[in-house]
Structure 1
Amino acid sequence: MLNTAIFSRLRAAAGRFAKADQGNIAVLFGIAAVPILTFVGAAIDYSRASSARSAMQTALDSTALMLAKDLSNGTIKTSDINTKAEAYFRALYTNTEARGVTVSATYTENTGKGSTIKVNGSGNIPTEFMKVAGFPKIGFDTSSTSLWGNVRMRVALALDVTGSMSSDGKMTAMKPAAKALIDQIGALAKNTGDIYISVIPFAKDVNVGASNYDQSWIEWSDWDAANGTCSNTYYKSQSSCLSAGKSWTPKNRDTWNGCVTDRDQDYDTKNTTPNSDYHTKFYAEQYNACPAQLAPLTTDFASLKTKIDSLTPNGGTNQPIGIAWGWQSLTQGAPLNAPAEEPNYEYKKVLIVMSDGLNTQDRWPSYGNGQTQFNGAIDARQRIQCDNIKANGVIIYTMHVNTNGDPTSSVLQYCASGSDKFSTVTSSSQIATAFSAIGTSLSKLRVAK
């Protein structure tokens, strides 16, 4: 009887316990807290490991680059590579949480396609949360590779020589800065042919050289119309002469001063090799502010510096014509016939554009009058042009020398191959620093894979 009563009470208590729900939330939270905290803790631990790995990648990239420079310059022996790699890395790696960090470097000698230095790194992060789940640490590793000796560089330097460059000491400051850049880039060459440089002075037009007057890639229709005499000297223009039923005789083309203006659209935005179609040819113009003759790609850097010394400021601003001929100088085939590329080398092509103002004039009078650009028409052509150049694999650096407080050139910003490749300087004294920064960037391109 007693046993039956006890059993009945226990059964009733069990029923009440099964129906009770006052503490369910606390119980469920207690059960769920463990996996929630585990997941949050794992995310924190993995974030710490990711940060340590990212810092290691940055340090390894710089280490590989510095080792490549040392090896290419002969300042270290191959037997010292690991010691030097360790020293560079330790000076650069700033993460304080990583443990068991190791660094090693492997050098592969040039076999005709360049020398390689590969730097490997590894380490681990002690965990704070995951260790309760049996993971006391998170390991990570990464590497960086630099390749040099098979990388050759071709650089076009398009320089604004318009009339406004005469103010605020800009031309005076630009000349030594540009010559120093040529020295800086030229010093990267270890063998003849490693580095080629061209110089393209530009205003409204570019001077391709008066001796080219008999070349098939020049279109003479506009020049012939503007430079000649009528059989009746009363008529001064070709159109009025012909309308009066008279004959027009163009001047001898050997009197041309060498200047060319924009090609017909859309060839003004392309580097198409000229052919029998006159639209593809370059229009001769007797521009009265014709700049110094351009210098195609060469390894004679002394002649380029002499060219820069000869520059004088005059004329309106047409950045697209300087950009077009900078691109042409990097292009094989007529008119400038860049040297052939050897198959065992990688070639990096660079266009540097320095201008002190906004576009004001080109071949089309409706686009600008030499003082003002109308409705952004020249910039619109330039944007298309720069898109085509970058799609062609050419890296573009641009510099806006802005000493007059003009709006920052949005089209030069657009043309640059990234925000780090555009610079604006507000005084002539900054030109040298800006050119030097470009040279430093190019030195990294020269050795970086």
Structure 2
Amino acid sequence: MLLRFLHDRSANIAPLFGLAIIPILGIVGLSIDYGRANAVKADVQAALDATALALSKEIESVAEKDRKTRATEYFKGVLNRTDARVDDVSPNLKTTGTGGYELTVTASVTVPSTFAMVLRQGDLKVTGSSEVKWGMKRLEIALALDNTGSMAWSNKMGHLKTAVHNLIDQLKKASRKPGDVKVAIIPFDTTVNIGTKSKDEPWFDIDSLDCNGWKKGSGCTNSNWKSHWEGCVRDRKYPYDVQDDAPGSKNGTLYPVYECGSLAEALPLTNDWSKLKSKVDEMEPNGMTNVTIGLVWAWHALTPGIPYTQASAPAADLDKVIILLTDGENTEAWNNASNNKVTVASHIDNRTRLACDNVKAANIKLYTVRVIEGNASLLRACASNPGSMYFEVSQASQLNAVFAQIYENLASLRLSK
């Protein structure tokens, strides 16, 4: 009987299970803790990304001694996890050789263990980092701005002036040294006013000149037109109406002179911020719409050859950008080959489409803005990126936000890693 009892194994399962259950529970619990830690790590990374982006927008105005506190506030506000303890959040800002900035934000978080203690494992540490780079290359930007009569409606012109003033202020602040950022203002209706300083240059076509259309009875003739001309030009002959060829370089490249009305004179590239603002203030709505000529003269402003010579040659550290804004359909252009007005919108749209394609092929970044009215499909396709560089506003008061968004795009704010 005693020997049978000693050799009996039928009841061993219970004590063996009792001995094994502790490490089994520990391993299961450890996997649960690590699962929690992984979930926290994902949230920590998302919070770091949000913190870095938010802090980058204001860090230059935050004293160095206060940056750590500000970063911690942002991070804790976004993380919002009760099962994790924030140990440290540290921002590190440095400048790059090209005048930009790099901001790195690191964080360390503790996740208290629950089951892992069974295996004598301590609390779990979660760390992460996020880096933001921002700043600009050198920038040359031309604003092709609709100054037609419909811009008087719904205070569109007033809101446009405010938005452009604010953009100029932001660009001025972003400029690290004189000449880093230059801006041109190109108001347009069916013409562009290039001013009369160049009237003695051999750039102009007067074959279609109609002095009676300017100042009837003023004594204007084909021989004395320079005394009456106020500086406006119309579309050149096809195909040069949508190209950047220098005037006089080929047959058909001369600019047809025309009357101006109240159209403000274009301002070539400059970093004279006061002059830029004054030019914006001069703009008054009047006349019909020809988007093509506004876009083409903005292109002229960004190329170093005549008629404007202020632009730099293309370079790796230089971005050239056009912002094209209009509030209406194309209504009137000029066929300089036949000396006739073109009033069929689809025909003018075709010229605009070609101009857009040529500008983009010239490696110029093109933003388009539709203000309440206008050919949305044409302007969307015209933009370099229809998804991120075409903007549409239903109220003129939204223009300020649009130009602020464009500025952020220009500043190349991005998560780098």
Q: TM over 0.5: same fold?
A: yes
Is 1:254 the counterpart of 2:226 in the alignment? yes
The alpha carbon displacement at 1:315 in A equals 2.0
Q: Which residue of 51, 62, 77 corresponds with 2:53?
A: 62
Q: Counterpart of 2:387?
A: 419
The alpha carbon displacement at 1:394 in A equals 3.2
Change in Cα spacing, 1:93 to 1:278, as seen in structure 2 (3 Å) is farther
Secondary structure of 2:404 counterpart: helix
Q: Counterpart of 1:378?
A: 348
The alpha carbon displacement at 1:303 in A equals 2.0
Write out per-residue CA displacement over residues 301-325 of structure 1, whole angstroms, 9 at most, x where no aligned residue. 2222222332232221111111111
Is 1:409 the counterpart of 2:376 in the alignment? yes
Q: Counterpart of 2:292?
A: 320
Change in Cα spacing, 1:330 to 1:339, as seen in structure 2 (3 Å) is closer
Is 1:206 the counterpart of 2:176 in the alignment? no
Report the count of equivalent residues: 360
The alpha carbon displacement at 1:94 in A equals 6.6
Change in Cα spacing, 1:439 to 1:100, as seen in structure 2 (3 Å) is closer
Secondary structure of 2:305 counterpart: coil
Q: Counterpart of 1:434?
A: 399
The alpha carbon displacement at 1:381 in A equals 2.5
The alpha carbon displacement at 1:412 in A equals 1.8
Q: Which residue of 184, 191, 199 corresponds with 2:177?
A: 191
Q: Does structure 1 conserve the Cα–Cα contact (< 8 Å) formed by 2:59 and 2:67?
A: no
Change in Cα spacing, 1:203 to 1:94, as seen in structure 2 (3 Å) is farther
In structure 2, distance between residues paired with 1:188 and 1:120: 26
Q: Counterpart of 2:167?
A: 181
Is 1:277 the counterpart of 2:250 in the alignment? yes
Q: Counterpart of 1:332?
A: 304
The alpha carbon displacement at 1:335 in A equals 1.7
Q: Does structure 1 conserve the Cα–Cα contact (< 8 Å) formed by 2:189 and 2:263?
A: yes
Is 1:226 the counterpart of 2:196 in the alignment? no
The alpha carbon displacement at 1:267 in A equals 3.5
In structure 2, distance between residues paired with 1:54 and 1:381: 49
Is 1:305 the counterpart of 2:274 in the alignment? no
Secondary structure of 1:313 counterpart: coil
Change in Cα spacing, 1:289 to 1:277, as seen in structure 2 (3 Å) is same
The alpha carbon displacement at 1:200 in A equals 0.8
Q: Does structure 2 conserve the Cα–Cα contact (< 8 Å) formed by 1:207 and 1:259?
A: yes
Change in Cα spacing, 1:379 to 1:89, as seen in structure 2 (3 Å) is farther
Change in Cα spacing, 1:342 to 1:261, as seen in structure 2 (3 Å) is closer
| RMSD, matched Cα | 4.2
Q: Counterpart of 1:265?
A: 238
**Partner amino acid for 1:309?**
D
Higher helix share: 1
Is 1:446 the counterpart of 2:411 in the alignment? yes
Q: Counterpart of 1:131?
A: none
Q: Does structure 2 conserve the Cα–Cα contact (< 8 Å) formed by 1:292 and 1:310?
A: yes
**Partner amino acid for 1:224?**
D
In structure 1, distance between residues paired with 2:242 and 2:80: 47
Q: Does structure 1 conserve the Cα–Cα contact (< 8 Å) formed by 2:330 and 2:349?
A: yes
In structure 2, distance between residues paired with 1:357 and 1:259: 21
Is 1:144 the counterpart of 2:144 in the alignment? no
Q: Counterpart of 2:265?
A: 293
TM-score, normalised with respect to structure 1: 0.65
TM-score, normalised with respect to structure 2: 0.69
Secondary structure of 2:411 counterpart: helix
- Unmatched 5+ stretches in structure 2: 1-34, 113-123, 213-220
Secondary structure of 2:140 counterpart: strand
Is 1:397 the counterpart of 2:383 in the alignment? no
The alignment-based identity, stated in percent, is 30
In structure 1, distance between residues paired with 2:162 and 2:86: 50
Q: Does structure 1 conserve the Cα–Cα contact (< 8 Å) formed by 2:211 and 2:225?
A: no
In structure 1, distance between residues paired with 2:154 and 2:163: 15
In structure 2, distance between residues paired with 1:97 and 1:324: 59
**Partner amino acid for 2:358?**
N
The alpha carbon displacement at 1:155 in A equals 2.5
In structure 1, distance between residues paired with 2:272 and 2:169: 11
In structure 2, distance between residues paired with 1:253 and 1:400: 37
Change in Cα spacing, 1:224 to 1:388, as seen in structure 2 (3 Å) is closer
**Partner amino acid for 1:186?**
K
